[in-house]
Amino acid sequence: MLEVINLKASIGEVKILNGINLNINKGELHAVMGPNGSGKSTLCHVLMGNTEYKAEGTAMLNEVNLLDKQQFERSKAGLFQSFQYPQGLPGVSLYEFVKTSNKDLSDEFINSIADKFNVRKFLERDVNVDLSGGEKKRAELFQLALKKPKLALLDEIDSGLDIDAIKTVASLINENRDDETAYLLVTHYSRILKYLKVDKVHIVVKGTVVKSGEEELIEEVDSGGYTQYQDA
């Protein structure tokens, strides 16, 4: 599914990713954890094609080398990114937004998925305008469900959420997982991971994966923090 080999990235003279290596198979959910400034969100931005970054290395999504493609081509190849701070789009309703990017979907199907994510009441409202953090994240997951991507990048989807909203977001992710879509979820904290079925955890420090494992790493981070990996 996704194979990342020696991925490096920088902004100007500032190096952020220093050789990321990871593999994600179809249907898996991988969590990327690490301290502030470690490069976790940068990984998502680089994979999605944020032009602020200069990237080198390999990032293959199935047979597509993402680093050779523009953002819209990466999207067509099956990549989706949700954002830590979803931006509002005044004057554009959520229905208009999703219909424009999913022209082949019927209104009946859109409404049924909106009901599933409890966002039907937001369809005629401007995208992410006057919504709470939890409501914005539900709207992002609604869009993800409509797209059915091969790989979903969830950049700190738990950011700014209270515990009830975190449980709701985690439940929606679990309920909508299937064998086709893989997830790369970035987070600082273990809270949301305790409610998810995580296949693998990667610890990122100073722009590189210093340790990978299964759910036991979540407890390891909880008990010892990230300082234990500083010299890894």
More confident residue, 230 or 128: 128
- pLDDT tens for 127-149 read 999 998 889 999 999 999 999 99
Give the largest CA-CA distance in the chain.
54
At residue 4, the pLDDT reads: 97
pLDDT value at residue 102? 84
Residue environment code for 155-194, b if the CB has 16+ CB neighbours within 10 A, otherwise e: bbbbbebeeebbbbbbebbeebbeeebbbbbbbbebbbbe
CB-based contact 48:9 (threshold 8 Å):
no
Helices (H) then strands (E): counts for the chain: 7, 12
Residue 23 vs residue 232, higher pLDDT? 23
In CATH terms, the fold of domain 2-86+149-229 is Rossmann fold (3.40.50)
Instruction: Tell me the pLDDT tens digit for each residue of 74-129.
Output: 999 999 999 888 888 999 999 999 999 888 899 999 999 999 999 999 999 999 99
